[in-house]
Amino acid sequence: MSRYRDYVREDFNNYLNVYQAYNEAIIELAKYNERIVLLYTDFPSDSAGEFFRKYYPHRIYDVGIAEGNMITLAAGLAAAGLIPFTHCHGIFAVGRAYNQIRQIAYDKLNVKIVMCNCGMLWPFMGASHQLIEDLAALRAIPNLVILSPADAVETKKIVKAALDYEGPVVIRLYNPPVPTIYKDNYHYVIGKATIIREGTDVAVFATGVLVYEALIATKILEKEGIDVRLYDVHTIKPLDESSVLNAVKECGAVVTVEDGNIYGGLGGAVAEVLAENYVIVPFKRVGVRDVFGRSGGVEDLKEFYGLSAKYIISAVKEVLKLKRKT
């Protein structure tokens, strides 16, 4: 009997770009909600802008290369009752507009901050543009919801959920296309981690672009008789602490998987939950280990920085070995 949930696909050959899914979702939602407006900063048409402009030319603002100004303009539009979705490279949202994002969170304004090309796996831009510190920086801002989709289906559901949520939301998108994990019947809820696969030996918490790598790892480990419970942590903040504690109780070992810095990211968030609840279990973090990136192919970057399925498998086996010793 399969341990994979009924909303998980059996065939993962359908690779889609999350930006395409985002564009389809925001254009469809704008049909029914006239308060939606888009802002972007000199950004590629396939990520934001030109597709939306064809349908709603008077509901989009190009502010040029001025990320801080974009967020400030979004604040004013939100205060006037509109629902602005802002778009820029993630590195510039954090690097050039952090204070403005912080102020939006302080004022609890209804702004949706779409951060594009996040994480290590932006292949051709290298260290200057690969954003590994966003989760650490943004998790520290109160009132801010941070969402990180695993595939195109979840991206569409996240956009709808962000629209329905009253308050500031960050949507963390990434560059490489990924296989479609979910079926259309998948029910998405902000703040509730999704169980992709049941298991009792080890719990793996993965987010964003690396959820699929974690899924591949569980399939390989299943053939070796290792029973992994896999969570898709699509909501980084607020973190689903109850799922973390429940997984620890039932599995007794934990691995986290992310495409950014393990310091302050998902791994750090899970470690905080374990420490505050006096839980001592075997625990490993798969992610960028406090180093800057470099240019390279996506698969090469995964291998070089230890982000591929084989490193997840290795981490699972390490914590399982420690678990058996205790």
| 156 & 61 share domain | yes
| 237 & 157 share domain | no
Do the domain assignments include residue 68? Answer: yes
Catalytic residue among 24, 34, 67, 272: 67
CATH number at residue 256: 3.40.50.920
Do the domain assignments include residue 130? Answer: yes
Q: What is the pLDDT of residue 10?
A: 85
Min mean pLDDT across 14-18, 28-32, 155-159 is at 14-18
The predicted model scores a pTM of 0.95
Is the CB of residue 92 less than 8 Å from the CB of residue 67? yes
Do the domain assignments include residue 186? Answer: no
Structural domain for 315, as ranges: 194-325
Q: Is 133 an active-site residue? A: no
Is the CB of residue 90 less than 8 Å from the CB of residue 63? no
CATH number at residue 132: 3.40.50.970
| 25 & 109 share domain | yes
Query: Which tens digit of pLDDT belongs to each residue from 58-111?
Result: 999 989 899 999 999 999 999 999 999 999 999 999 999 999 999 999 999 999
Do the domain assignments include residue 189? Answer: no
Query: Which tens digit of pLDDT belongs to each residue from 33-48?
Result: 999 999 988 765 555 5
Query: Which tens digit of pLDDT belongs to each residue from 152-207?
Result: 999 999 999 999 999 999 999 998 899 999 999 999 999 999 999 999 999 999 99
Examine the fold and report which residue of 147, 177, 207 is the final residue of a domain before the chain moves on. 177
| 236 & 128 share domain | no
- Cα 199 to chain centroid, rounded: 23
Strands (E), 207-261: 228-232, 235-237, 254-261
| 204 & 133 share domain | no
What is the number of structural domains in the chain? 2
Do the domain assignments include residue 188? Answer: no
Q: What is the pLDDT of residue 125?
A: 81
